[in-house]
Amino acid sequence: MRCLAACQTELAIRMLDEILLPSFEVEFLVESKPLARRLHDSGLNVTFGDLKRTDTYLKADLTPGTCVVVEDNGRKSLRKVLEAIWDAGGTLVYVLGVGISHTRKREEELKAKFPELNYLALSELFGGPLLTEFSRSLTRLKVQQYQRFFSDADRVLILLHNDPDPDALASGLALRNVLRRNRQTAVIAAFEGVTRPENQRMMNLLDIHVEIMTVEHVNDFDRIAMVDVQPHYFGGEIDRVDLVIDHHPEQSGYTSVYKDIRVDYGSTSTILTEHLRAVDANISERTATAMLYAIKSDTLFFNRQANRVDIEAFSYLYPLADATLIRKMEGAEITMERLDYVLKARQNGRMVEQVFCAFLGATPREDFIPYVADFYLQLENVQWTIISGIVNDTLVMSVRNLGYSRNAGEFVRKYFNEIGSAGGHRAMAKAVVPLRNFKERFGNLQADEYTEKVLALALEFLHEHQTPERKLVKA
């Protein structure tokens, strides 16, 4: 492909020459004679001419298939240059902003006159990789500091939150990798073990061992790290901690020698991928598989709170991981026990206006509730699922919706925050209400009355938030 580059600054010209050759046949058009001579002497294909004149481009054999790059360094003459190119029949026109501070405004102004041009800013083209490089150096510094601090310890504790999820498990493995330790010298532990079947399956398939310990044993270790959790979670029981790596909102009221908390990250495994990359660590297939699965599950495969860094970590880990194992771990979500609750919801549930609502009664484990909520959201006609059950005298409610409808978190906060705890995101939310409080507010309801009540609340919420456009569509 041919490329004509109408440029004024030597740096831009030399850079384009380096980038575009040998894929493009490049010819530079410049307005300064001395510059043309200098570039010509160093072997570039340069023509000297007036960039504001159409015949300059005609002489250079501009065709509609020629790619034209025009440097924009803020000069007024740019419009004239673009007009001349248009008149000469140029259609594939790229304006390259060099040292332009308000690029968006500049782009709008130019597009008002030349709607088909493409505007690229040099700072945007190079800024990303440069910033990534710089932040990797900062991460490297941080990681090397805590690596040194942990290096002379005999026994290291990597503590996870209760009932560890894939992100906690994978982060434990990853941190052990960063610290260059094994399961004897760095113990991954939790105060309460894994209960969800798919997480147990992950542990079995990847041979992850989590030691269940009591708080008294914490002080047996020389160094304590926490991943995917912060000390406040343990209610003041742990007063000394050396390292915290987490993506949940930063809590005050504790000190840690080192910490790396990044709330805009979709998972702790994403942070640890950056730690491992920053120090060029070898990542085993087992660790990569665990981390990949963790990123996928913590971000609900990029449905929730995922951003560029998570996708970047995901693509870095993907070739290192075992995709077959991940499929096996995901298959473990279906168990006979869970199907029992799916059936129960089918028998007791009600669906109105694409809202599926069901009450499961007393359930021995909490995870049946979100499982059933996720399950019914897969049905074609379902937009919302609201599934509740009773776990130890507490009403637990899981709410799911397809991300583009109203906010699930707002729904639970509106009706249940005053009598319990409620929160969540746009597409998924949870409420936990002591049964006593629920009865005080809504009365002592029978199972079917309960379903009707919750369904009525949901419809009330959805109707009051209906925008005029949506009503129009429905009408």
**Contacting residues toward Mn ion, per CB under 5 A:** 167, 228, 267-268, 298
Q: Which of residues 167 and 367 has its CB atom nearest to Mn ion in the complex?
A: 167
Q: How far apart are CA 352 and CA 383, in angstroms?
A: 10
Closest separation between CB of residue 253 and Mn ion, Å? 21
Closest separation between CB of residue 418 and Mn ion, Å? 28
| Max CA distance (Å), the chain | 91
Residue nearest to Mn ion (CB): 167
Q: Which of residues 177 and 270 has its CB atom nearest to Mn ion in the complex?
A: 270
Q: How many residues does the chain have?
A: 475
Q: Which of residues 95 and 271 has its CB atom nearest to Mn ion in the complex?
A: 271
Helix residue ranges, H only, 22-102: 33-41, 54-59, 78-87
Closest separation between CB of residue 178 and Mn ion, Å? 17
Q: Which of residues 224 and 291 has its CB atom nearest to Mn ion in the complex?
A: 291
Q: Is 377 left (phi over 0), alpha (psi -120 to 50) or beta?
A: alpha
- Quote the DSSP letter at residue 251: P
Task: Work out the burial of residue 121: count CB atoms within 10 Å of its CB; fewer than 13 is exposed, 13-18 middle, 19 or more buried.
Answer: buried
Closest separation between CB of residue 162 and Mn ion, Å? 13
Let me know: does 81 contact 96? Beta carbons within 8 Å.
Answer: no
Closest separation between CB of residue 165 and Mn ion, Å? 7
Q: Which of residues 27 and 228 has its CB atom nearest to Mn ion in the complex?
A: 228
Q: How far apart are CA 207 and CA 353, in angstroms?
A: 45
The pair of structure tokens assigned to 294 is: 């963790």
Q: Which of residues 256 and 269 has its CB atom nearest to Mn ion in the complex?
A: 269
Closest separation between CB of residue 266 and Mn ion, Å? 8
Closest separation between CB of residue 412 and Mn ion, Å? 20
Q: Which of residues 167 and 242 has its CB atom nearest to Mn ion in the complex?
A: 167
- Residue 315 phi/psi, 5° resolution? -70, -25
Rg (CA), the chain: 30
Let me know: does 278 contact 301? Beta carbons within 8 Å.
Answer: no
